[in-house]
Amino acid sequence: MMEENRKRKVNFTDVEIRKLIELYSENKTALTAKQSNVVTNKTKQETWRFIMESLNSCSDSGCHRTDGDIKKKWKDLLSRANKDVSSLKHHPTGGGPPPKTSPYSDIIVAIFGEDSPAFLGLDGVDSGCPQPPEQLEEGM
C-alpha cells in the first residue's frame, strides 16, 4: 500500500487571523448559542460556512480553508488566550520579565469579557475530585 503524502497547508496569515476574529465577534451570538436543537445546530453550521467563505474571499495566502480548518484555528486561538490569561494571573514571583502572550489574546478576551467562564472556569466545579465524605452525608 502506498501512503499518500499530504502536504501541510500554509499557516494562517495575520490578515486571516484578524478577519477570523472579526467575523467570529460579529457572529458570536449564533455561534455561542447554548441550545443544541436542529435549528440552532444548522444555524451554527451556516454561520461557520459564511465565515469560511468570507475568509477565503479575502485571503492573502491563496490557500483554500475548510470550515473545519477555521473552527480548529478558532479553538487554538481561544485556547492560547485562555493560557495567556492564566499565565498573567499566576505570574511566578521573583521578578523577571512578564510571560510572552499572543498578540491576539487581548482581542479575544475583549470579545468574551475577562469575567467570562471561558477564561475563569465555573465556580465550585472541579471534575477531577470526588466530593468529601461530609458533603455526601449532608446530601443524604
Q: What is the pLDDT of residues 83-95, one digit of tens each?
A: 888 777 776 666 7
Q: What is the pLDDT of residues 1-58, one digit of tens each?
A: 456 777 888 889 888 999 999 999 999 999 988 888 999 999 999 999 999 999 999 8
Q: What is the pTM of this model?
A: 0.69
Q: Is 46 left (phi over 0), alpha (psi -120 to 50) or beta?
A: alpha
Cβ contact 20:65 at 8 Å: no
Closest by CA to 75, choosing from 15, 26, 123, 12, is: 12
What is the rounded CA–CA span in Å between residue 83 and residue 89? 10
